[in-house]
Structure 1
């Protein structure tokens, strides 16, 4: 029965691949040690300690200039550090269904954690090129998984969450529990509505590649047709990432090389709005991630939300007039049709993993 459920989930999330025909393993990535190797990767992202850097300093050094960083010493004391192991999660949440992807109509595909536990411990399934993994944006809203919220704290730099003024039911998905085996991950994307993201890694290692918004990159630049990209992170890292380090990319087209980083357990990655980024899990990983809008990054988020979600933006502005009149004034002062940079797109969809993340019926959005 467990195997039947797993195969059904595979068929639903990747209908173009034959499960029985072995197409989930057609690239043979599981047999290629280079796929998960971090040898020769740069360590290009600045690391800071939450013990040494104040909120005010963080805003000036990273938020305002739109600079990514890796934060250490910000997860001390989290219950998640000891409670979020596969075995403990299975004991507590074995019967709860977590989202592992979306079907062709955009509806959530879910599996019980018991079945996911079986999947990641089955050597045959772990030969999948891009395995199923949990990317659940509703865990905090469902009774069966809500206790996970008590196991971590929002880091001090991200306590301000301006979308909260919209209300929990109206705001877009913004927090995800992310549990994935090697070779799962998020293909290259920009987070929607000019949100920034923080990603806290409880266990395992994540490989990141980031591209700055100043480069003016677009989806066709980073996800061109005709080179066999299938929406999976592992395929993107194998086929497209090397091109972004080559002469054609840097010298002929004038684009920057990626900023590389391997995130370690206990570290939090901060990705400011507008940065293209891709993530590959190098081993079994457990993480929690949230998208956020803060005062320092509000103007662009307001422009993007007004264009992309006009009804929601009207509700947001109404609430800000009471809660944050200073920001309401900023919103009012912006032209009706602000001049947008090349990087300001309203699209909130591109691939985010083996499981493209969304609410149950919304268009797919892309967490980090």
Structure 2
């Protein structure tokens, strides 16, 4: 949890603090993990071969023929609210070279393409690249006393946007090339963040190239955040005006420590490549505190 002093320090700068170099595990746990504070860590990936190797030419040679999962949407918003629907992307299976062809503009296809499958897709779909990074971040694994649950690979177009949400993971987000732009809100802002329940649906591209929204009949309605932090509708969601977002840009060679339960919205430069490590959070007093906030916010929204 953030105490009042930590919250004030972050809000005064409206940005995320920097740490220079890989930290000592105990120090990192005490200063950042335990108080649930984000930071950007510089010079902690310098030894990764991926920083110099992962050019389009290298990736084509190394994994160009591999077939991977790709999210395709008409507007770049995957897993996001559209009207009264929670719409998920169309999932396609494509060769890695075909994805690069789209991102590099060598072929024209309608839609926005994003390699974003989050079930440890680096290990499952692209194991040939694992020697260029690390199987886990040693100081983070030591600090948490566990190994990551998933290691994910990200590659996409500039229009691919991750809508505002939270995850139950301690997240180390490592940028290999390009830049990721984050908007972050702490768990303590939960009372100001609106939620709704939405019919699940998926995008599907028709034969004429247009996309349609197709309802999924199975499953319950999905709780999701309808507000767009880039252009919040404060007339419809006035409470969001009391939220205190932080912003940070994570550049190549930097990693963001994104604490569990922090809300985040993500944009990127065109062709940005990143790898992130998800460590399962501890369901301790921090989780109980957030659950209490969540319950209070749910009751308040009904009145």
Q: TM-score range by the shorter chain?
A: 0.5 to 0.7
* Unpaired stretches in structure 2, ≥5 consecutive residues: 1-12, 74-86, 204-212, 214-224, 296-303
* Inter-CA distance 339–219: structure 2 relative to 1 (3 Å threshold): closer
Contact 1:43 1:262 (C-alpha < 8 Å) held by counterparts: no
Which residue of structure 1 lines up, in the alignment, with residue 293 of structure 2? 342
Unaligned runs of 5+ in 1: 1-41, 165-170, 305-337, 345-368
Residue 249 to residue 71, structure 1, CA distance change in 2 (3 Å)? farther
Q: Distance in 1 between matches of 2:290 and 2:163?
A: 29
- Partner residue, 1:157: 139
Query: Which of the two has greater strand per residue?
Result: 2
Alignment TM-score, normalising by the size of structure 2:
0.67
Matches within 5 A, 1:1-368: 44-51=15-22, 53-101=23-71, 108-122=91-105, 125=108, 128=111, 131-136=112-117, 137-142=119-124, 145-153=126-134, 154-160=136-142, 174-191=150-167, 194-217=168-191, 220-221=194-195, 239-243=228-232, 255-293=242-280, 297-299=282-284, 340-343=291-294
Preserved CA contact (<8 Å) 1:199 1:269: yes
How far apart are the structure 1 equivalents of 2:32 and 2:51?
Answer: 26
In structure 2, the CA distance between the partners of 1:146 and 1:203, relative to structure 1 (3 Å rule), is same
How far did residue 148 of structure 1 move? 1.5
Is the Cα–Cα contact under 8 Å of residues 60 and 96 in structure 2 kept in the other structure?
Answer: yes
> How far apart are residue 87 of structure 1 and its match?
1.7
Deviation at 1:69, TM superposition (A): 0.6
Coordinate RMSD, CA, aligned: 4.0
**261 and 282 in structure 1: CA distance in 2 versus 1, 3 angstrom threshold:** same
Matched residues in 1 for 2:244 and 2:100: separation?
A: 38
Distance in 2, Cα, partners of 1:82 & 1:261 = 24
Residues 1:237 and 1:75: Cα distance change in structure 2 (over 3 Å) = farther
List structure 1 segments (4+ residues) > 3 angstroms apart after TM superposition: 102-108, 123-128, 136-142, 160-164, 217-221, 236-240, 246-250
Tell me how far apart the structure 1 counterparts of residues 194 and 236 of structure 2 sit (CA, whole Å): 15
Residue 196 of structure 1 contacts residue 273 of structure 1 at CA under 8 Å; is this kept in 2?
yes
Query: As a proportion of its length, which structure holds more helix?
Result: 1
Query: For the residues of structure 2 that align with 1:96 and 1:283, how far apart are their CA atoms?
Result: 22
- Asked whether the equivalents of residues 157 and 271 of structure 2 are also in contact (C-alpha less than 8 Å), the reply is yes
Residue 217 of structure 1, CA deviation = 4.4
Give how far 1:282 is off.
Answer: 2.5
TM-score, normalised by the number of residues in structure 1: 0.56
> Is the CA contact (8 Å cut-off) linking 2:123 and 2:130 kept in structure 1?
no
